[in-house]
Amino acid sequence: MVVDVNTALRACDPEAVPGLLNGMLEHREQPLCQEENSRLALLAKARDLVRALESPRETMAKYLWAQVRSESLIDPLANLSRWHKPSCLAAITACYDLGVFQVMANGQGQPLSVTDLASKVGTNVNMLGRLLKHIGAMGYIKETDADTYAPTNFSNALTIPTIGDSYPCFVKGLLPASLHFPTYLTQTNYATPTDVRSGAFQSAIKTERNMFEYLTAHPPPGFYPVKERLVQGMAESDATLLVDIGGCLGHDLQEFATKYPNEPGRLVLQDLPVPVKAARAYYLHSILHDWPDQVCKVILKQVAGAMEPGYSKLLIHENIIPSKGAEWEATALDIMIATLLSSKERTEEEWYALLEAPSWG
């Protein structure tokens, strides 16, 4: 079964929300500061409510970007409640590697026993049962009977590569560098990482390659006024409309073509350094945040050399970290790319400083 990619953006368990809210209201008259059992019961309901309301993408980002990194550095004996997150991460990754979630999704929502699942994926019944028991206890699959489970929106979303692949990618490739990051900062006297070949990733993995070179050698399993600012003023109808630089498989171009099927001009996917001259627009989506300023200036200089002054436009799709009230996903990503790429998510001031630098324009 192919799962709709929008499943990753929907609540994990919307059907559970009304019951959870009613359960929380049962405690509204009880003095939580005096009754420990009521406090713990309400806290459990609140956690279940968050889990139910979160989308699979938000859960993935919380586990892999923001929380497991810091909590793994804390002595787990100091607070046993912290164990559920790394344990769940390990269980989800193991079951993803086995193909369990795809088998569950193929069942069209019907419950499957651990014995059936183990037979279908070819693994040990006892160990799989223990893994699924914890994932079920966390609410990410539904325990319908003893050792029997049904899929949820969350588990179905794990069959979408951009969601599911993130778990083994992080656990097997990125987690070692993340856990090494505090040691690296100590060794460098907390200097800002800027060397793409000598950062926390290189120190942890024992390599001199930047992360992209390493992954190549060790492959792991908005809104913009397009018509007003791009289409209007094009040199000719068969000119190049948009070049997606570093666009990987072209998912952004596919979405652009779907939204603007009748607009003139060619769409060019450029994931190799072959210049396309004098396009109406050049698009950089999450490219510059992968590199420190000195490398970004080289990239921008190359793009500027292909642009036609007064005609071509440069579109940059990136995060901006505000001076106050930053979102946790953006700040988590900032720490991650500092760890892996010796780069950063930039503030508005840092973006202006980079884009207005005379050394590339």
* Catalytic positions: 289
Strand partners, 148: 113, 145
């693994």: which residue's tokens?
123
CA distance to 92, 149, 209, per residue, from 123 (Å): 15, 17, 36
Distance CA 96, CA 91 (A): 8
H helix runs in 8-81, sequence order: 17-25, 36-53, 56-61, 68-72
- Contact by Cβ (8 Å): 11, 54: yes
Token representation of residue 293: 């300023």
């005096």: which residue's tokens?
34
- Contact by Cβ (8 Å): 290, 347: no
Residue 319 CA, distance from chain mean position: 13
User: In 3-state terms, what secondary structure has residue 243?
Assistant: strand
- Contact by Cβ (8 Å): 312, 279: yes
If 0-12 CB within 10 Å is exposed, 13-18 middle and 19+ buried, where does residue 331 land? middle
Strand partners, 315: 283
